Structure 1
Amino acid sequence: MRVNATNITVNTYMFRRPLIGNHRPPSSHSTIRPAHTQPHLSLLADKCSSMRQLLQIHAQMLVTATIHDNFAASRLLSFSALSPHGDLNYASKLLNSVQQPNMFMWNTLIRGLAISPNPHEAVFLYVNMRRIGVTPGKHTFPFVLKACSGLRSVELCKQVHSQVVKVGLDLDFHVVNNLIRGYSVSSGLVLARQVFDEMPDKNVNVWTTMVCGYAQNDRTVEALDLFNQMVAEGFEPNGPSLSSVLSACAQSGCLDMGEKIHRYIMEKGLGTEVILGTALVNMYAKNGALVMARTCFDNMPQKNIITWNVMISGLAVHGHAKEALDVFQVLEKYNVMPNDSTFVGVLSACCHAGMLDFGRKIFNSMRSVYGIEPKIQHYGCMVDLLGRGGMLSEAEELINRMPWKADLKILGALLSACGSYGNIEVAERAVKKMLVLEHDNHGVYVVLSNMYADAGRWDDVSRLREIMKDGSLKKTPGWSLVGDKDELN
């Protein structure tokens, strides 16, 4: 498939933003000073562990006029854009302060924005970069396409694809790989396959991405056929590529394909490596094949914390709470340090088993014993656990103590528990908070109305019905589809 670059261009009107600074395209006279001439401040920027430290180094660079050197500025930009302890807003200001940013700087900020919670900002930056005449390179498009993947926008992928063709990078392995991924996750599987077919020389990563695309879109037959074709043509999948395919099988519920991959791994003797073994455990656990998941888990000579978390969460999600907690206790005996994901699985298991006292103990130990600050997911599990145990006042108090505002999921768990235990007073407060977040949520009125009816408060029932009627609140009708799988495809 050749996208007509003259007819398809990035629609800049979709991303109307003020230009970032008064940048000019990089000049042929703009060079980066050799690394050995750079002041030590530039190297210190790579060793920062906080924005506070980076700000101190930035201040010193300003005082010594080092900041005018692109190498020095790029080190500051790299930390603030890509480090978990960085600040993307600060990174944007840094780029804005450079008169002639080099391509590395543009790519660094686009990359940081692409993996942020707001990937559309990466597209805004790319559009602004093109407006001032900067030509993207082969490292630019993979980051822009990653943003398109995050946005699940097939139209954006098409527009970026046209730019790829225009600059002659439509046969670059890394760019093509990201094009296939972008189309695949954006419901553009036909376009992804066209890009794949038009690549004359494919490497194992391109094959793997296309196989994953089929698996993630629940096209198991095509995924298996393509995997077989890849092997038949002499492309031997490596550990990372097989892990990617297994991850796709886990997400899409493709157990048949996952089992075939497992057989291939065993034939090649690849199953003892930690990442690949963890991917197998995850695939079986997500598909509900817990016996096989546990077998793979037990047969792994080495495990990392992700392996343990996958096993604990898999057991918890499928209702095997006791086994999940047993695995957690074994983890502690091995002196493996749990992380925040571990405790999400453990607390979920406690919810399934109704183990209120143990769950409360685990939650309190996160900060005091393990030095892990509970996140909103952990609070959500505890609210659910307390609600199931009838401790509604304690659950409400926990919500009020959270560092964040409660979301609909947490408040919904509290409201559901109120319905089970008939606590109208707490339910009314929960409903009030939920309506602030979603004012036309009909479900909260239905739950509260039923509670009023159970308590014989018919005046309140009538009042709520009038509110629903006046607000034109309508319940979205549910639907289901029953039929043979082959008939539905």
Structure 2
Amino acid sequence: MVSRQIQLLIQRSSSAAHLLQLHSLVLKTGLDHNPNFVSHYIYAACSISIDFSKLVFDHIPIKPPLFAWNSIIRAFTNSSNPLESLNFFFQLHRIGLKPDNFTYPFVLKACGRCSIVGVGGPVHSLILKVGFDSDRYIRNTLLRMYAACGAIGLARRVFDEMTVRDVVSWSSMIAGYVACNCPLDAFKVFQDMKLANENPNSVTLVSLLSACTRLLNFRAGESVHCYIVVNCIGIDVALGTALLEMYSKCGHVEKAFQVFNSMSENNLQSWTIMISGLADHGHGKDAISLFTRMEQTGLVPDSISFSAILSACSYLGLVHKG
């Protein structure tokens, strides 16, 4: 009963200071010796303060359960310090605790974020050794890891060895080719995807539009847009931003502006791309007007936004305005 009450209090916490107050209660009740409680404690604390979670993890008087290890590894993988995730994984190995099919995707993602194929490769070998290579989620994460590290050949090998591919597998391979500046290969994979009767999702289409942008291939980009319309695929911020960037970079700023105005939601990136597109194609006044509209929405411009508007001012000779 006490354990449940403290768990609820931890879940409702919003700061490390509050967690610290609750921690004294955890120590008094001896719950730090309860493996099940410790697992949920670390899991909940990771979403509030990763530094506090690490402190608790390092000082609990029992051997942390695998669930707690996975929680702390996942938290650091998604943090600004993914390298720490790998350090925890090495510790896990040193104490002889076996990772499970949840551990490996977090570790592979950290390798990708750090671009450390020298660690990702040996982790891949471990996955083969323990027999998790048939796990589709792990294989998709392996593919993304190699692509993120620039090892597109290894990513393709993982892809080719898949006996079953889902939309995530296809999309990851396409995105990997685009990220590694191989847009033509991305289109080839998309053609194979269609032959396999696998329907693309919005993530796939964002990558395809990025490939069109890299190639400055307006016709291909327009055909992707037609596919989106014909198949009634909802245009979210990511897909809308990819569309307007493709049209802008391909010199069709009017079409980009139509997409921009049709979007139900815009973020700083979409505003900035549209402002840059207008400025780069001789619509300086429209770019300044749009920048003013953006400020009125409450969005705070970043260095890229300011660079775009300065370009517009320079084009118009409005040095004082800039």
Q: 1:61 aligns with which of 20, 26, 35?
A: 26
- With normalisation by structure 1, the TM-score equals 0.58
Q: 2:10 aligns with which of 45, 64, 74?
A: 45
- Greater Cα radius of gyration, structure 1 or 2: 1
Q: 2:201 aligns with which of 235, 238, 248?
A: 238
Equivalent residues in 2 for 1:3-402, closer than 5 Å: 38-83=3-48, 86-88=49-51, 90-98=52-60, 99-246=62-209, 248-249=210-211, 253-256=214-217, 258-285=221-248, 290-300=253-263, 302-306=264-268, 308-312=270-274, 314-315=276-277, 318=280, 322-331=285-294, 336-338=297-299, 340=300, 342-352=301-311, 353=313
- Secondary structure at the aligned position of 1:135 is classed as coil
* Corresponding letter in the other structure for 1:61: V
The 1:310–1:259 alpha-carbon spacing in structure 2 relative to 1, beyond 3 Å, is: farther
The 1:259–1:58 alpha-carbon spacing in structure 2 relative to 1, beyond 3 Å, is: farther
State the superposition RMSD in angstroms: 2.9
Deviation of the 1:310 alpha carbon: 4.3
Deviation of the 1:337 alpha carbon: 3.7
Is the 1:177–1:209 contact (alpha carbons within 8 Å) kept by the matching residues of 2?
A: yes
Query: Separation in 1 of the partners of 2:80 and 2:140?
Result: 22
**Of Structure 1 and Structure 2, which has the larger fraction of its residues in helix?**
2
Query: Separation in 1 of the partners of 2:216 and 2:35?
Result: 51
Query: Separation in 1 of the partners of 2:204 and 2:9?
Result: 36
The 1:140–1:305 alpha-carbon spacing in structure 2 relative to 1, beyond 3 Å, is: same
- Secondary structure at the aligned position of 1:39 is classed as helix
**What percent identity do the matched residue pairs reach?**
31
CA offsets per residue over residues 226-247 of structure 1, 9 Å max, x none?
Answer: 101102211001224333544x
Query: Separation in 2 of the partners of 1:132 and 1:176?
Result: 26
- Secondary structure at the aligned position of 1:224 is classed as helix
Is the 1:316–1:348 contact (alpha carbons within 8 Å) kept by the matching residues of 2?
A: no
Query: Separation in 1 of the partners of 2:164 and 2:119?
Result: 26
Is the 2:143–2:156 contact (alpha carbons within 8 Å) kept by the matching residues of 1?
A: yes
Is the 2:279–2:309 contact (alpha carbons within 8 Å) kept by the matching residues of 1?
A: no
Deviation of the 1:176 alpha carbon: 0.8
* Corresponding letter in the other structure for 1:54: L
Is the 2:50–2:75 contact (alpha carbons within 8 Å) kept by the matching residues of 1?
A: no
Match of 1:379 in 2: none
Query: Separation in 2 of the partners of 1:323 and 1:129?
Result: 57
Deviation of the 1:200 alpha carbon: 0.3
* Corresponding letter in the other structure for 2:32: I
Is the 2:253–2:278 contact (alpha carbons within 8 Å) kept by the matching residues of 1?
A: no
CA offsets per residue over residues 78-135 of structure 1, 9 Å max, x none?
Answer: 354344xx233x3222222231222221111111222333322211211110111111
- Secondary structure at the aligned position of 2:26 is classed as helix
- Secondary structure at the aligned position of 1:58 is classed as helix
- With normalisation by structure 2, the TM-score equals 0.84
Query: Separation in 1 of the partners of 2:207 and 2:73?
Result: 24
Deviation of the 1:275 alpha carbon: 4.0
- Secondary structure at the aligned position of 2:310 is classed as helix
* Corresponding letter in the other structure for 1:127: F
Query: Separation in 2 of the partners of 1:285 and 1:118?
Result: 35
Deviation of the 1:285 alpha carbon: 4.5
The 1:316–1:124 alpha-carbon spacing in structure 2 relative to 1, beyond 3 Å, is: farther
User: Aligned residues, how many?
Assistant: 314
Which structure 2 segments of 5+ residues have no match?
A: none
Deviation of the 1:289 alpha carbon: 5.0
Deviation of the 1:268 alpha carbon: 1.5
* Corresponding letter in the other structure for 2:214: G
Which structure 1 segments of 5+ residues have no match?
A: 1-35, 360-489
The 1:237–1:318 alpha-carbon spacing in structure 2 relative to 1, beyond 3 Å, is: same
- Secondary structure at the aligned position of 1:253 is classed as helix
The 1:323–1:167 alpha-carbon spacing in structure 2 relative to 1, beyond 3 Å, is: farther
Deviation of the 1:308 alpha carbon: 4.6
The 1:332–1:122 alpha-carbon spacing in structure 2 relative to 1, beyond 3 Å, is: closer
The 1:274–1:152 alpha-carbon spacing in structure 2 relative to 1, beyond 3 Å, is: closer
The 1:117–1:307 alpha-carbon spacing in structure 2 relative to 1, beyond 3 Å, is: closer
